[in-house]
Structure 1
Amino acid sequence: MTERLPHFDLSAATPEQKGVLDEILSGPRGNLNGPFLGWIHSPELAQQAQRLGAFCRYRTGLPLRLSELAILVTAARWQAQAEWHIHYPIALEAGVAEADAEAIRQGRRPAFADADDALIHDFASELYDTKRVSDATYTKAVDRFGHQVVINLVGLLGYYALVAMTLNVFGMRAVGQESLPFAE
């Protein structure tokens, strides 16, 4: 997986590590693909992060297509190889247009057919580019999705930035990943 982290041996896992892994495997993810085998070296962080991640991925109030679009924007901004590899097929299955995903991967703004897609992309891009969101973009997002979902969107973007940082710092790849979507 990576030379930056010690090999994780499940047979030598602490009770805390086993608890985290059991919760991940019995939850909606059902696998350890992504940052989890990196985070497991800090079981308390792993537990807190995976629970936040489950909320951000499955319970933000956004349709799956929009959540996955936001994740792709994050993966592309951070050039997170494994994050893109894992979420690209999920995003396509959820309804993100392949041409839109490819434009995002290449760092271009797609010509979105759907106004919600454009709003999510613009919100995320503005936040990543300027470290803020303009009043105009914020108002559009709140008018469309409500305050709670916008708060959850910010959480989703922050969580997947954490995932991307973890994957990048430790050089982690997705299970079965043979090609890289971004130049190293």
Structure 2
Amino acid sequence: MSNAKQKRFPQVTLETLPQESRGLAQEILDISSLGLAGPYNVMLRSPIFADRMKRLLDYLRFNNSLPMRLSEFAILIQARLWSSQVEWVAHYPIALRNDLPAHVADDLKQNIRPRNMQPDEEAVYDVCMNMSKNHKISEELFQHAKKVLGEQQLVDLIAVSGTYVTIAMLLSLGEEPIPEGKTLPFPEAI
């Protein structure tokens, strides 16, 4: 079975974009494992939004206060909650390269609370899951997460998590497929 699904938005290329969007597109090409596909294919339909979202993603992916291991874990949590195939395919290898234990990611992929998490991983998991499912966290979890992560990391965690909900929604809107040759992480979701 081919992973290629008809896109709702035809794939943009550097050449098909308006001149004023090409600089941003080149910046995306310089850092994205997906090129201009995935969320960028959808985002570039709104050039000002795409530019501002790219700047936010630059901070959240490369400069926020969380260790990349935790940042990528938060992204994977949203990918799993949204069954976001593209998000998972793009971020799973990044998470592993940044020392998220494979068993943590693999349990998450199976919709199992990851076993043997480090205390900071548990805080990330609990905050992301409670915020996503209950739209709030208890005072006890807040105090615990603040103690484990600190205030800035806790705020950055929410920013990462919420932003990657937006990315998952953009991917869903465009029905963006995973790259050819990759295996669907959540075949039950199609």
Q: Shared topology, TM-score over 0.5? A: yes
Describe how 1:65-76 pairs up with structure 2 within 5 A: 65-76=69-80
Segment drifting more, 81-90 vs 166-175:
166-175
**Matched position secondary structure for 1:164:** helix
**Matched position secondary structure for 2:160:** helix
Deviations 1:124-180 (A, max 9, x none): 011111011111111112122222221111110011111111111211123345321
**Are residues 1:103 and 2:87 paired?**
no
Determine which of 36, 41, 45 is the counterpart of 1:41.
45
Determine which of 167, 181, 185 is the counterpart of 1:163.
167
Q: Percent identity?
A: 31
Aligned to 2:9: 5
Question: How many angstroms apart in 2 are the aligned matches of 1:112 and 1:33?
Answer: 35
Segment drifting more, 8-17 vs 160-169:
8-17
Aligned-pair CA distance for 1:17 = 1.6
Question: How many angstroms apart in 1 are the aligned matches of 2:117 and 2:7?
Answer: 43
Question: How many angstroms apart in 1 are the aligned matches of 2:37 and 2:8?
Answer: 17
TM norm structure 2: 0.88
Aligned to 2:97: 93
**Are residues 1:175 and 2:166 paired?**
no
Segment drifting more, 1-10 vs 56-65:
1-10
- Number of equivalent positions: 183
Determine which of 112, 124, 133 is the counterpart of 2:116.
112
TM norm structure 1: 0.91
